[in-house]
Amino acid sequence: MTLNAEAQTLNSTKKPRQKVTFDKFTQEGFQKDVNRRVEEFFRSKDISKNANSQMIFKTVWILIGWVATYLLIISNLISPIGMLLLALGHGFFTAMIGLNIAHDAIHGSYTKSPVKNKKLGLSFNFIGVNDYVWNISHNLVHHTYTNIPNHDEDIEQVSVLRLQPNQELKKIHRFQYIYAFFLYSLSTFFWVLIKDYKKFFQHQLGGHYRKTFPKKEMFRLFFYKALYYTLFLVVPILVIDIAWYWVIVGFVASHLLEGFLVSIIFMLAHIIEGTEFPEPCPEGKMDMPWADLQLHTTSNFAIRNRVVNYLFGGLNFQVEHHLFPKVCHVHYPKIAQIVKQTAKDHNLPYLEQETFFGAVASHIRFLKKYGRPEPAYAAS
């Protein structure tokens, strides 16, 4: 029996989850108005929605930093402590590739050309992440079913984290605000070693159901994973004149920084005070249009912080990203005020935290709240 057939047999007893549907959100209301206003902005300014010279420059220095740190590590010219610091630097540049380059490319916002976007999206595979699985779990699932329990897999993390009200409360959750950040740091380590394989052979990915697994994508999964392990584990062990276990230490250290940077962006955008976890009615219909859902479940943070804006791929403008994923992130600061005003005109929320550390504090309060039982209120 083939691996594909085995995976399908293991999942054969699982049925697709109830399909969630929305109103025809493009015909009227908030989304129609915000689309029209943003389109008019780009047209009146004669600005492309895709990457500009600033974005290209950022892409170049990120890729140079990623390659340079790797080559220096395997050069045998650096002390062990220096190599450890370089490993942390490599983790930083790896996170920058994911947040800035690959993320935009797979959304189709880096360039107008689907072919060029696909080529740039390959960078995900070179940093250990499968682009096919990411496209489904992020683009199709998370962006469609944002914060909807049992449909958005991004709020269904390991069982020791309780990130939404429908999840069973356990005693250990009382301390999740303490240990959560360590688990965030481990996220990309398990992602490149376990998560992609697990998700690839799941029929049900959040609100998206697949009957089969493309053989071409299966080959690409194992090919690029093997290439990644070879480049970042096998080659350093064979080339660097240190004990093999120090290579493992450097590999893990790199992922600790990378995992923290990648995870904290999502947490501060969706798992924070004020964001909601709406559920569909029994028939599967949401009581709000899709664009309205994004405003109820998504929050911006630190949008006036130039360092955060630049390094985090504009994902601190998460509201704008969810509404306009086909727009390159360098343009989000330019359209944020338009989105905010349009939300106000339609009496819809526009969630935002002024500072990065203010958002972190709000996330910690969220973890504390969802780690404890709901308070019992006496009937008045």
Structure confidence by residue, pLDDT tens digits, 226-245: 999 999 999 999 999 999 99
Q: Confirm whether 7 is domain-assigned.
A: no
Structure confidence by residue, pLDDT tens digits, 286-337: 989 999 999 999 999 999 999 999 999 999 999 999 999 999 999 999 999 9
Number of structural domains, the chain?
A: 1
Strands (E), 122-212: 204-205, 208-209
Stretch 260-277: mean pLDDT: 95
Stretch 74-95: mean pLDDT: 96
What's the confidence (pLDDT) of residue 19? 84
pTM over 0.75: yes
Query: Helices marked H in 46-191 — which ranges?
Result: 53-73, 80-96, 103-107, 114-121, 123-126, 131-134, 176-185, 187-190
The tokens 């479940």 sit on which residue? 297
Instruction: Indicate whether 355 pLDDT > 70.
Output: yes
The rounded distance, in Å, linking the Cα atoms of 92 and 256 is 10
Q: Confirm whether 316 is domain-assigned.
A: yes
Q: Confirm whether 337 is domain-assigned.
A: yes
Q: Confirm whether 152 is domain-assigned.
A: yes
Q: Does 255 or 285 have the greater pLDDT score?
A: 255
Q: Confirm whether 134 is domain-assigned.
A: yes
Structure confidence by residue, pLDDT tens digits, 10-69: 343 455 677 888 876 555 789 999 999 999 999 999 999 999 999 999 999 999 999 999
What's the domain range around 88? 14-370
Instruction: Indicate whether 7 pLDDT > 60.
Output: no
Two structure tokens written together for 150: 């049992």
Read out DSSP for 290-317?
HHHHHHHH-EEE-TT-HHHHHHTTTTTS
Q: Confirm whether 237 is domain-assigned.
A: yes
Judge contact between 199 and 205, C-beta under 8 A: yes
Q: Confirm whether 91 is domain-assigned.
A: yes
Helix (H), strand (E) at residue 253 = helix 244-270
Task: Report the chain's mean pLDDT, rounded to a whole number.
Answer: 91
Q: Confirm whether 377 is domain-assigned.
A: no
The rounded distance, in Å, linking the Cα atoms of 55 and 142 is 25
| Residue 376 binned pLDDT confidence (cut-offs 50, 70, 90) | very low
Instruction: Indicate whether 126 pLDDT > 90.
Output: yes
